[in-house]
Structure 1
């Protein structure tokens, strides 16, 4: 349930003063907490400051490889047909759609590599090569510097489908992370 309560002018002024004091001394710690919780983009969006993250969009080759990793019942040729319909060349994609092969996929090759534009992920094992101390490789890629944008596919669960794939590509195009 979303809280739609608003504060009065007096309450806002008190909150503003309190926040100024707290932020003055603890800004880095608070920023780190929000980032670690995975809510930094949401916070900046609510504040109307999402443009502060625009540098992230230019860090990667917008015409680079798009990697799709995770268990999928949808065949590669079906996904490539979707991509072609959106104007993409089939050579832009790298697929690892087998659950067991995802265990040994060389994830680190994407870190700090201008060859890659995005990583689209579906269901995959938690125990994989290169995940380090993170709970999963998806989290490792999301939390560590140098990986291209990581997009979790599926609505209620991680799942690679034609529709989800199409929506992810459209969103990446709209957000200017990639070009076709």
Structure 2
């Protein structure tokens, strides 16, 4: 059972001193434990530090556009039906589901834009016009400043499926990274 008692000023000062000592001596162990328990995002969210997560590095727009890009056998209307099932407005999504059109997509429009929340990627060409010296555009987005967080769709290979799309959106909502 969780104790919800509010601490007095003196009790809070003692707790602060004890926490400083424990955190100083066991910080790596505690951080690993919270990470492997799946509660790291929740902890950082409670502390107001969710921007420290690597996939929260730039964009904190929880209601922004979610770009879905890469080859997909699943049609856009099917993916929108999945999104609607989860309570999303269809206008929250931008799709580029054609492998060859991903080559000429204007990726730079997302850099330093607060309009985008996430980029969900499937299979796409390595050679695209905005990738610069990076091995792929996915890596360029992940490693350059100013881009929204990237989620690689698929388990063993990059692949956009209805189930993967559903699970990805559900996970983002459950961890409070986006609002549906």
TM-score normalised per structure 2: 0.71
Counterparts of 2:61 and 2:161, CA distance in 1: 25
With over 3 angstroms needed to count, the CA separation of the structure-2 counterparts of 1:44 and 1:64, relative to structure 1, is farther
The corresponding residue for 2:101 is 101
Counterparts of 1:61 and 1:72, CA distance in 2: 26
Greater CA deviation, 44-53 or 90-99?
A: 44-53
Q: Does 1:69 align with 2:69?
A: yes
Counterparts of 2:127 and 2:106, CA distance in 1: 13
Counterparts of 1:172 and 1:123, CA distance in 2: 21
Q: Does 1:155 align with 2:175?
A: no
Greater CA deviation, 51-60 or 65-74?
A: 51-60
CA contact (8 A) 2:59 2:116 kept: no
Secondary structure of the residue aligned to 1:120 is strand
- How far the C-alpha of 1:97 sits from its partner, in A, is 0.3
Where do 5+ consecutive residues of structure 2 fail to align? 1-28
Secondary structure of the residue aligned to 1:155 is coil
- How far the C-alpha of 1:175 sits from its partner, in A, is 2.2
Aligned counterparts, 1:43-122, within 5 A: 46=32, 48=34, 50=40, 51=44, 54-55=50-51, 57=56, 59-122=59-122
The corresponding residue for 1:168 is 168
Counterparts of 2:141 and 2:149, CA distance in 1: 9
- How far the C-alpha of 1:174 sits from its partner, in A, is 1.9
With over 3 angstroms needed to count, the CA separation of the structure-2 counterparts of 1:146 and 1:88, relative to structure 1, is same
CA contact (8 A) 1:61 1:114 kept: yes
Secondary structure of the residue aligned to 2:178 is coil
The corresponding residue for 2:25 is none
Secondary structure of the residue aligned to 1:48 is helix
How many residue pairs get aligned? The number is 138
Secondary structure of the residue aligned to 1:160 is coil
Where do 5+ consecutive residues of structure 1 fail to align? 1-42
